[in-house]
Amino acid sequence: MTDISTATLASHQGTGAVTLENVTVTFNTDRGRVTALQDITVSLPEHGFVSLLGPSGCGKSTLLRVVADLLDPSAGDITVLGRTPEEARKSRELGFVFQDAALLPWRTAIENVRLPFQVGGGARGEAESPEKLLELVGLKGRENAYPHELSGGMRQRVSIARALVCRPRVLLMDEPFGALDEITRDRLNEELLRIWEATGTTILFVTHSIPESVFLSQQVLVLSSHPGRVRELVDINLPYPRKLEVRDTPEFTAIAAHLRRLLETC
Amino acid sequence: MSTTLTDRRITEGPELPVQKRRRRPTLGRMLLPIGVVVGLILVWQLACSVFNIPTYIIPSPVEVWQSLSENWAMLMQNTWPTLIESVLGFALGNLVAILLAVLFVHWKLAERALMPVAVFIRTIPIVAVAPVLVIMFGQGYTPKILIAALISFFPTLVNMVKGLESVDKQSLELLRVLSASRNEVLWKVRMFASLPYLFASLKIAAGNSVIGAIVAEWIGSQEGLGYLIIQATYNFNTPLLYATMTVASIMAVLFFGLIGLIERLVVTWEADVKA
C-alpha cells in the first residue's frame, strides 16, 4: 500500500490532486443548448480543502459531477491523482457526499457504511472499520438505527462515514449541510475540519454559504453563472485548527466581504 | 440511574432523532370496528323479524348461521378448489408481473412495446374473458388459475415498475461512484425499494385472485365456491348463498391478512409509498 501510494503521489506532485484544463460542459435541454461550465482551468492541491462558491445554477454541482465521473465534459481534460476520473472512480479513490445523505432506508447506519464493501468489487487495499468511522463522526451507540430513526444531521454523518470507509484520497461534497439547520451545520463544520485533519484527504466542497466556505477552506473557488466560469480563486489565510469564534475576527469578516462583492458582480 | 441517562445524552448528542413507529392495531383499536359489525348484524336480524322478510329474499343472520353449520363439510369441500385456484393464480400472475417489471426497467424498448398490450388486456372485462378461457382449456383448474392470474397481474406490474424506478437520483449516483454493476443495483437497491410498492399491490391482488377464481367457476365447473353460489341461487337456497358468500369473504380476508403479516415481517423500515 505505502509503496504504491508514494509512487503515485510522487508522479503527480506539483500537478495537483485534481486538475481541470479548459473544461466545458454543455447540456441539451428543451430550450436548446445550455452551457453549464465554460473553460474552467484550475488545479487543486493534494490534502487541500477547496470550496466551490457561487450563486445557484452556476455549475458548482456540475463541476463536482465531472470530477466524480458522473458526467462527461463536452471539452477539456480532467485528472484526479494523475489519472482519468473513471480510473480514479474504479480504484475507489473518490468519495462522494450528497446533499440528501442518500442513505438506503432499509439498511441500518452501520449497514449503510458497509455498502461500499458489498458493491463494485468492494474495497481496494486497506479500508477503515465502519464501527470506528461511526465513532469518528460521533454516532457511537447508534450503529443499528435505521435512517428514519436519525435526525438530518445524523444521517449526513452516516453518509460522511460511508464516503470515508474506502479511504478515498479525494472527497467530493455537494452542499452536504445545505438542508440542515444552522446550529447543526456549525457543529458539523467543526467536525468536518477535525475529520479532514485526521484523514488527510483532499476535499472539494460545494456550498452557497459564504461563511461556511471561509470557515472551512484553504481556498475558495468563486464561480460566476450563465455560463459558469472561474471568477477568482481566493486564498483563506486563517490558521488551523479553526474554531467557530474565528468568524468574529476582522480577518474573517474582510474575506467574507470580499467574497460577497465578488458574488454580487457575478 | 442518572449517570446512565447523561451518558446516553452525550453519545446521542442534542440533535433530536425523529422516531416514528408504525402503529400496531391493538385490541382496544379493534374493539370499535368489531362493535360496528356486531351492531349491523343485530340491525339485520331485527329488520328481518320486524318486517317479516321471506327467507328466500333475505335470510336472517340466524338462518345463515344454521345453513353455515349444517353445510359446513360441503362448504369446506368446495373451499379447497377455490383456494387452490386463487393461490396458484395469485402466484402465477404476480410472478409474471414481477419478471416483466424487471425486464421493463432494464429494457425500455420492451416497456414501450408491451405496456400498451398489458393495458389493453387490462381493459377487457374479466367476465368476458372467462368464457373464452373455459372454452379454450375446459372445465379443470387451468382456466380458473389463468383468470385469477390475469386479474392479479396488472396492479402488480404497474406498481412493481413504479417501485423499481422509485430509487432517487442521488442513490443511483452513489452506486455509480461505487462502480456498482447493474445486477448489484437491481438486487441491493431496486428490489428493496420496490418491496413496499410490491406489497401494496399484492394485498390488492390477494382479494382480486379470489374474485377471479369465483367468477371463473360461475362459467363452468362442478365444484368450488363459485359453483356453489350458482347452485344456491338457482335453487333459491338463499341461506346457503349467504353462507357461501361468508366463507368466500373470510377466505379473501385471511389471504389479505397473511400478505399483510408477511409485509410487516419483511418491510421493517419506514417507506413512503405513493402507490
The ipTM, to two decimals, is: 0.86
Domain boundary among A147, A167, A187: A167
Q: Do A85 and A148 lie in a common domain?
A: no
Domain that holds residue A132: 104-167
Q: Which residue carries 367457476 as its cell? A: B217
Question: What pLDDT does residue B50 have?
Answer: 92
Q: Do A85 and A181 lie in a common domain?
A: yes
pLDDT in tens, B138-182: 888 999 999 999 999 999 999 999 999 999 899 999 999 999 999
Return the percentage of chain B with pLDDT > 70, whole number: 89
| pLDDT band for position B23 (cuts 50, 70, 90) | low
pLDDT in tens, A178-235: 888 899 899 899 999 999 998 889 999 999 899 999 999 999 999 988 888 888 899 9
Model confidence at B8: pLDDT above 90 = no
Question: What pLDDT does residue B195 have?
Answer: 95
Question: What pLDDT does residue A62 have?
Answer: 92
Q: Which of A198-207, B23-32, B232-241 has the lowest mean pLDDT?
A: B23-32
Q: What is the mean pLDDT of residues A59-70?
A: 92
Q: Do A62 and A182 lie in a common domain?
A: yes
Q: Which residues contact A73 (CB under 8 A, 6 or more apart)?
A: A23, A24, A25, A37, A66
Question: What pLDDT does residue A1 have?
Answer: 36
Kindly list the residues of chain A whose beta carbon comes within 8 Å of any beta carbon in chain B: 65, 68-70, 89-90, 92, 94-96, 98-100, 102, 104-106, 115-116, 118-121, 138, 140-142, 145-151, 153-154, 184
Closest approach of A136 to chain B, Cα-based (Å): 12
Q: Do A179 and A194 lie in a common domain?
A: yes
Q: What is the 3 state secondary structure string of chain B?
A: CHHHHHHHHHHHCCCCCCCCCCCCCCHHHHHHHHHHHHHHHHHHHHHHHHCCCCCCCCCCHHHHHHHHHHCHHHHHHHHHHHHHHHHHHHHHHHHHHHHHHHHHHHCHHHHHHHHHHHHHHHHCCHHHHHHHHHHHHCCCHHHHHHHHHHHHHHHHHHHHHHHHCCCCHHHHHHHHHCCCCHHHHHHHHHHHHHHHHHHHHHHHHHHHHHHHHHHHHHHCCCCCHHHHHHHHHHCCCHHHHHHHHHHHHHHHHHHHHHHHHHHHHHCCCCCCCCC
Question: How many Å apart are CA A36 and CA A51, to the nearest integer?
Answer: 18
Question: What pLDDT does residue B10 have?
Answer: 35
Question: What pLDDT does residue B22 have?
Answer: 53
Better-scored residue on pLDDT, A123 or A211: A211
Q: Do A148 and A26 lie in a common domain?
A: no
pLDDT in tens, A9-49: 333 444 688 999 999 999 888 888 888 888 899 999 999 99
Model confidence at A8: pLDDT above 50 = no
Query: Of B188, B267, B270, which has the smallest distance from its Cβ to A119's Cβ?
Result: B188
Model confidence at A79: pLDDT above 60 = yes
Most A-contacting residue of B22, B178, B192, B269 (CB-CB within 10 A), to test interface: B178
Domain count, chain A: 2
Q: Do A256 and A180 lie in a common domain?
A: yes
Q: Which of A35-44, A106-115, B16-25, B114-123 has the lowest mean pLDDT?
A: B16-25
Query: Of B8, B170, B271, which has the smallest distance from its Cβ to A102's Cβ?
Result: B170
Q: Which of A187-201, A236-250, B6-20 has the lowest mean pLDDT?
A: B6-20
Model confidence at B29: pLDDT above 50 = yes
Return the percentage of chain B with pLDDT > 90, whole number: 71
Q: Do A79 and A142 lie in a common domain?
A: no
Closest approach of A45 to chain B, Cα-based (Å): 22
Residue A206 lies in a domain: yes
Question: How many Å apart are CA A213 and CA A206, to the nearest integer?
Answer: 8
Residue A10 lies in a domain: yes
Query: Of B8, B176, B269, which has the smallest distance from its Cβ to A146's Cβ?
Result: B269
Query: Of B11, B178, B189, which has the smallest distance from its Cβ to A141's Cβ?
Result: B11
Question: How many Å apart are CA B163 and CA A241, to the nearest integer?
Answer: 46
Model confidence at B270: pLDDT above 80 = no
Domains of chain B: 80-237+247-266 (1.10.3720.10)
- Residue B154 has φ and ψ, to the nearest 5°, of -65, -50
Question: What pLDDT does residue B274 have?
Answer: 46
Please tell me the pTM assigned to this model.
Answer: 0.81
Model confidence at B3: pLDDT above 90 = no
Q: What is the 3 state secondary structure string of chain A?
A: CHHHHHHHHHHCCCCCCEEEEEEEEEEEECCEEEEEEEEEEEEECCCCEEEEECCCCCCHHHHHHHHCCCCCCCEEEEEECCECHHHHHHCCCEEEECCCCCCCCCCCHHHHHHHHHHCCCCCCCCCCCHHHHHHHCCCCCCCCCCHHHCCHHHHHHHHHHHHHCCCCCEEEEECCCCCCCHHHHHHHHHHHHHHHHHHCCEEEEEECCHHHHHHHCCEEEEEECCCEEEEEEEECCCCCCCCHHHHHCHHHHHHHHHHHHHHHCC
Q: Do A33 and A72 lie in a common domain?
A: yes
Question: What pLDDT does residue B12 have?
Answer: 37
Return the percentage of chain A with pLDDT > 90, whole number: 61
Domain boundary among A140, A167, A194: A167
Residue A73 lies in a domain: yes
Model confidence at A94: pLDDT above 80 = yes
Q: Which residues of A touch B168 (CB under 8 A)?
A: 100, 102
Domain boundary among A115, A142, A167: A167
Residue A36 lies in a domain: yes
CATH at A214: 3.40.50.300
Q: Which chain B residue's Cα is nearest to A183?
A: B15
If 0-12 CB within 10 Å is exposed, 13-18 middle and 19+ buried, where does residue A51 land?
A: buried
